[in-house]
Amino acid sequence: MGNARDLGTSPDEVQFRFRDDEPVDHGTVTVDACCDQTNATAVRIEPGDDARLILPFLYRLALVEVNFPVFGDGRGYSAARILREAGFTGELRAVGDIGIDQLSHMRRCGFDSFAPDKRLDEDAARRAFATWENVYQRAADARRTIADKRHEA
């Protein structure tokens, strides 16, 4: 954990993770730096950043953090889906002001790791991740929707 980092969360700060691979522990760079630098493997997207700028570099990124400075700013949900729609399979980590009640939607948008500013109650979070047995929309989690189930042969 000794890596110098100006920004980004460490694996220690990740409270929930839905992946089996080893967490990345590299320095996290800004979107601008990611576009300039050829060796960055972890990037952090702020709400005002255009997630599409990093699409050309996804092949070398192992971790994308999406920051939610305030939970009511929902731009990060679109950023996450855009990355998954572009085929990003690395770790997509939601960081910042994340509460119990955002977890299930974030998961649907493609986040597979969560580093909330304040640690969340484990039981409440488990319940929250399982809130929706079924879903109406297609999203980044590739779940079969209610409409799909209604019309399967």
Q: Is 117 exposed, middle or buried (0-12, 13-18, 19+ CB in 10 A)?
A: middle
Decide: is 88 part of the binding site for other proteins (CB under 8 A): no
Contacts of 100 (CB under 8 A, 6+ apart): 120, 121, 124, 125, 128
What number of chain residues touch other proteins (CB under 8 A)?
Answer: 37
Considering the complex, state which of residue 4 and residue 153 has its C-beta at the smaller distance from other proteins. 153
Decide: is 85 part of the binding site for other proteins (CB under 8 A): yes
Among 46, 73, 117, 129, binds other proteins (CB under 8 A): 73
67 membership: H or E segment, kind and range: strand 63-68
Considering the complex, state which of residue 23 and residue 47 has its C-beta at the smaller distance from other proteins. 47
What single-letter DSSP state applies at residue 22?
P
Residues that bind other proteins (CB under 8 A): 47, 50, 71-75, 77-79, 81, 85, 99, 101-102, 104-106, 108-109, 127, 131-139, 145-151
